[in-house]
Chain A
Amino acid sequence: MAGPKIYFKREDLNHTGAHKINNTIGQALLAERMGKKKVVAETGAGQHGVATATVCALLNLECIIFMGAEDIRRQKLNVFRMELLGARVESVDQGSATLKDAVNEALRYWVTNVEDTHYIMGSVLGPHPFPKMVRDFQSIIGKETKTQLLEKEHKLPDAVVACVGGGSNAMGMFYPFIEDHDVKLYGVEAAGSGVNTERHAATLTKGSVGILHGSMMYLLQSEAGQIQEAHSISAGLDYPGVGPEHSHLKDIERVQYSSVTDEEALEAFQLLSKTEGIIPALESSHAVAEAVKIAQTMSKEESLVICLSGRGDKDVESVKDALNQ
């Protein structure tokens, strides 16, 4: 096969199976230093919840995770994991019963218990300094990629691809490359059933600027400024906003953002499983699907890095259901 050399940044091999742990370790240490006894967090796919519950178990912090009822249904195994790690999982029924509603409830819990509780925001979202702090904890992804690529290829990659929901793995991957203008950066959103339907999570592609959860960013919203529900087969991309820094990178055209449908992500999920023996998270499958397209425009002297943000064990059941439909 022609095309570039393709590298995977294997965040799926991290403890708990995704990049999320990079951020939760950092924030839990901060919580400990601030003398907070409890941690609250929201979770979509459950990966951030599991990563939070894990560090809380390690540091002996009480842990409460808010999760949309719909996500609890889609990610039963992760709910069990969190409980096994000693966390209390609170089901959220409001709104679309997914990630944004879990953020609302986690914020409400936090303001009520702020004196002894730290909120570990799971993505590059929320009020300052969360987007910056989460980016910095996740930027280890891009730093390692840079070092390792330089070792292997003696040059920077020509293209870097990552999936974007709230956008923490992508922000962590992109950040160390922002000033390297020869490195093309690609962010991939979830197009759900298609960007021309009502059911997608392609905030940067289809949204407009608004303010939610303390950030100004691109948002899926109505004419009246009501936040709309996001839809994706992957629970981790199901958020109607996107990190403010991604919004900025779109505006200055430093990163090219595109979107991939549920169907394309499912194909990529199977492709990577069969060809590489790696079952990727459905979130990361979006990056894989777009990388397949990008690779076709590249030469064999070039190299491309895909951020494999998480592993797909958690998704096997819902993929099975989707393929049987």
Chain B
Amino acid sequence: MRNTITHGREYLETTLNQTLSQGNKIFVPYVMAGDGGLDQLIPNLKFLSEEGATAIELGIPFSDPVADGPTIQEAGKRALEQNVTLKSVIELLKQERYQIDAPIIFMTYINPIFKYGIENFIKDAQEAGVDGLIIPDLPFEQQVLISNHLNEAGIALIQLVSLTSSKKRIKQLAEASQGFTYAITVNGITGARSNFAKDLEAHLSQLQEFSSAPVLAGFGISSPEHVEQMGNMADGVIVGSKIIELLQDNDTDSIKRLIESSKAK
């Protein structure tokens, strides 16, 4: 063992709560595994972790990413062209996970996991130091497919809550969420936007009320101003498409500014 961290739900939750207790907001960048080649992955994760990302959402490329907008679709396509698979990402992390302190949350569509074999996947994910999972196309009612195995392995299953969900549904999802509750801030798919719905604040405060875990806002967040604006309504943010663009442009300064905007002034 190169370090003593036990990865999983507990590590994720402890890390998020620590950030909040220091008066900072949570900042979770999204990276597409294998965009720019799998060689780029560990250096990118290391950079984000060292610059103060609270946790990192790691996207697994999929042929049919229905929840994603053009930026993440293109990133996934570039990764698939490099033959990056769920398996190759896991194998890499088994070797190199120790270099990255931040909790890692896999964001993957269900089919690559299903094809991998659910039990095999969870065993390997545990060995690779995966702390949490986001599966955008696995509805709450169907999560029994994987949730018992995840609970046993101590890996968090994060729930996505949409703006259009009923109060009852919001409550159900927020109560079930582990690690954090992922509040989708727009109707639609991932990608940078300039405006948010007017009733977002009421929606987020309702979520805060129901959710024992921190509530993070995601989808469409792309500037330090957005990060601060969301920070007033939620416990933190997830930034995806914008991080992918900035990594592609090698614009590390702008990434630092985004992360910085989540910290206490």
**A contacts, CB < 8 Å to B:** 94-95, 100-101, 104, 107-108, 111-115, 127, 208-214, 219, 221, 223-228
Contact = CB atoms under 8 A, between A and B. Distances in A.
A137 to B, nearest CB: 23
Nearest to B83: A224
A212 B64 contact: yes
Contacts of A100: 64
The size class of the interface chain B forms with chain A is 20 to 34
A42 to B, nearest CB: 12
A211 B113 CA distance: 10
Nearest to A105: B66
Contacts of B50: none
Contact of A211 (B69, B73, B114): B114
A140 B139 CA distance: 31
B109 to A, nearest CB: 8
Closest 3 CB pairs of A and B: A225-B115, A112-B188, A225-B112
B247 interface: no
B115 A210 contact: yes
Given A211-B111, A224-B87, A226-B63, 14 more contacts: A95-B64, A104-B65, A112-B189, A114-B187, A127-B139, A210-B114, A210-B115, A211-B137, A212-B111, A223-B115, A224-B85, A225-B86, A225-B112, A226-B112
Given A224-B86, A226-B63, A115 B187 contact: yes
A210 B64 CA distance: 13
Interface in B133-148: 137-139
B63 A112 contact: no
Interface of B: 62-67, 69, 73, 80, 85-87, 110-116, 137-139, 162, 164, 187-189
9 contacts: A107-B66, A108-B188, A111-B67, A111-B162, A114-B164, A214-B139, A225-B62, A226-B63, A226-B80
Nearest to B138: A211
Contacts of A208: 115
Contacts of B85: 224, 226
Residue among B66, B114, B187 with most chain A CB within 10 A: B66
A227 B111 contact: yes
B169 to A, nearest CB: 14
A225 B137 contact: no
Contacts of B187: 111-115
Contacts of B139: 127, 214
A228 B111 CA distance: 12
A224 to B, nearest CB: 4
Nearest to B84: A224
A98 to B, nearest CB: 12
Contacts of B87: 224
Nearest to B74: A94
Nearest to B85: A224
A211 B114 CA distance: 8
B63 A227 contact: yes
A213 B67 CA distance: 11
A221 B164 contact: no
B66 A213 contact: yes
A108 B186 CA distance: 13
Contacts of A221: 111, 115
